[in-house]
Structure 1
Amino acid sequence: MAGRACGVAVSVLLTVCGVSGCGAVAERRDDVRETAAVFEQALGEGAYDRVCAVLAPATVEELEQSAGSPCAKALSEEAPQPGGPVRRTDVYGNQARAVLSSDTLFLSHFTSGWRVVAAGCEPRPREPYRCRIKGG
């Protein structure tokens, strides 16, 4: 009887862990989708200071170094176009991809939340994406 009780307890524990694990993945996808939407809305409004706030630190640094000006000014000069609504998100641990109507964003998870590492990314056959905005 003790063996059966232990087996039932293990089954219940595995079921609960499995369900909560799925919830965590869905929650992470939702967070990625929300970050991508905030990025796209700010981009569409030309609110480049808000766009910069959603970028990863290394991406801001790379953008500022290559442009020789602060992030918001560099973005206003480049004038990247919004990619539209999020169609799909893929989360792999602390990395994610958000596929938009006409763009792909790559994101990383930091202690402060999800941040855009690369944007303006185009797929290339058998090669890595080419991104207009990216970190070093």
Structure 2
Amino acid sequence: MTEARDRRGRLTRGVLLVVVGVALTGCVPARPTSGSAVEVASAFYDAVGRQDGAAACDLLAPVTVETLEGDADEACADAVLHGDVGDTLAARTGSTSGSASVAGRQAQVVLTGDVVFLTVSGTTWRITAAGCDPRPDRPYDCALEGA
């Protein structure tokens, strides 16, 4: 009788482990796609074009917000629309269609009038740099970027 009970207990524990494993597998967040990187970059420029600094800042990576606020000495929602950064980004509004290259948790979106860099944050993309100009044999020069 004890042997049968031990076998039933092991079977119950085994089934429970399988059920928990399957449930946890369903909880793994999906990695955002390259198409969604383009959507985030386009939404950022749409927000800048509407003068909605809060919406634009919601699409930035925390380190980018922190750097922008520190450099501009004002809140992100104001800094992203005014000063050197705001002027550069405003000149590039309308940059809405483009393509993305993804490498791991990083993406580069090439829009009609800009290059935007993004990183994965949770289950979405967040912008780490925008207003970027290529420089031969050197890193991009970006008006807005995290440290």
Aligned to 1:76: 81
Preserved CA contact (<8 Å) 1:121 1:130? yes
Code of the residue aligned with 2:77 in structure 1: it is A
1:109 aligns with 2:109: no
1: CA distance, partners of 2:126 / 2:94? 16
Q: Which of 55, 58, 67 is 1:53 aligned to? A: 58
Code of the residue aligned with 1:111 in structure 2: it is G
Cα deviation for residue 76 of structure 1 reads 2.3
Preserved CA contact (<8 Å) 1:83 1:100? no
Aligned to 2:19: none
Q: Which of 63, 68, 72 is 1:67 aligned to? A: 72
Report the 3-state secondary structure (helix = DSSP H, G, I; strand = E; otherwise coil) of the residue aligned with 1:76.
coil
Preserved CA contact (<8 Å) 2:97 2:111? yes
Q: Which of 80, 101, 107 is 1:96 aligned to? A: 107
Preserved CA contact (<8 Å) 1:39 1:50? yes
Aligned to 2:49: 44
2: CA distance, partners of 1:101 / 1:87? 6
Matches within 5 A, 1:121-132: 121-132=132-143
Q: Rg larger in 1 or in 2?
A: 2
Cα deviation for residue 112 of structure 1 reads 4.7
Aligned to 1:31: 36
2: CA distance, partners of 1:97 / 1:83? 18
1: CA distance, partners of 2:125 / 2:137? 28
